[in-house]
Structure 1
């Protein structure tokens, strides 16, 4: 995985990269919260196929959103890429996207994984799941999200902080399904069950299960799958002890989130931006991302690649990403009221 440079450094490099091109140069300027070599390979392939150079600025989604807002109509950004529907919704609410209508995008991305008005489109899926100690927990103990708040796991749960966009989207989905009162009761149960105050990222929660700090942890599927496939040799023994469960929400399947993209409101290279958006949602690109970053394609017509196929048989909840993304403010309020730091 490519490690992101500090935002200031990236911004300085990006200013040069996104400067006005020569009249003969074709470019597309990408602000991205994804920092993977698999994505870089796709950008290079796009340039080979189209002759359009991809300039990129990397940073956290909220930092990139703040930057685009500050740049206003002078922003060089053509496309914003984020790793969560909630982040895409935040950009949309800030007026940073323009609606895009494309037969290619609409045929490749199911309605549940794109904005109804075309502000943003998903190109990969990931599940919010449970990592558990197989020696202490049975699969049926964690086959429903509600069970994570039960007394069975008092003092035995690891989870990251409430400002994690992944957790906000999960709680947003619970609010959409259950209403705010039941969602807050669940959040209070989660807080009561925490083995330690929230800290670290998803991989840290998985490692904590292996170390015996907790018995269960909430994580995105692709973090576990990347650990299992040997990105870091030290993590392989972790995933031999820790297993993955795909809990259900009201018996309708596992909460699914997306990585996706939208065209910037003031995109100076609109035609090239659309070409890149269509390229990144193509069957070949979806399969490449799934294979190389342990995610799942958004298109139901695409078979999961071998690297994730063994984990692809779960039922996915049909809730649209836009439905839980717009619940971000409510989710934050619910988690704060529950004492989830």
Structure 2
């Protein structure tokens, strides 16, 4: 065959090959064995957001990738340079900065003598598939978090219900032993259940974080309607668990009930102050009543006193009532959460 024919055939073969490569939507690059870009097809330029091959030809292929992805690209070039095929998936934005994910394959191109002359790098845009996968993963993660949260809330509610039933049972037994009859028992138990309901309202609103002593006391007193009649001093910055909040609600409810019936809240001249001090994991509260008139200590200690003694004592520290000239002074204790 003449040299002219061979040259023409080679030119036509190049044109045919170029036309074939331009038909694919993939980004096809011909690399030197060292990884320099020698050719990129037309659709590849379009996929990369480029208008001319001059923007790529002559550059190292790994340099067009983000810094944290270059090591994987270099590894693929080295493997292809040793005659091995390689494939990986990686992130690389296009020229306009838009995010893209690519499924990349790199293969050696052999000459007739078996020597590697070039490397063929084919990149397919799989951004849509990756985004769908990421969205599915996020949805699964959100569903798992929602399920875990639901399970956590259910466990929490079971725990609280169990504790509250135990408290109700204990209070009911105590009131039954010291009530004057069924009607008195019902009235007293109703008051205690209302106090526990107020505590549960508080715990539900602040379910995701511990309740401070200041907030618990303020809201328990406010819910009872006596908040503006009781002077609360600055309280220590102590956090309370569920049991302590329920203790506070029951004790403060009992103290207010007694005060309305017999003490400072039952007349216009009465005054109550509530102060607190923090020991080691124990909050001690001091309830001081001034009835505005002389008051004598009662001869009989009823169910309220028993309730206070039982609920207001903890870790060897006992609740107590001391009487002064114009009313009772009550000390009681609740456990706080450690820092």
Same fold (TM over 0.5): no
Normalization by structure 1: what TM-score? 0.20
Q: Which protein has greater RCO, CA pairs closer than 8 Å, 6+ apart? A: 1
Scaled by the length of structure 2, the TM-score of the pair is 0.20
Q: Which has the larger radius of gyration?
A: 2
Normalized per residue, the structure richer in strand is 2
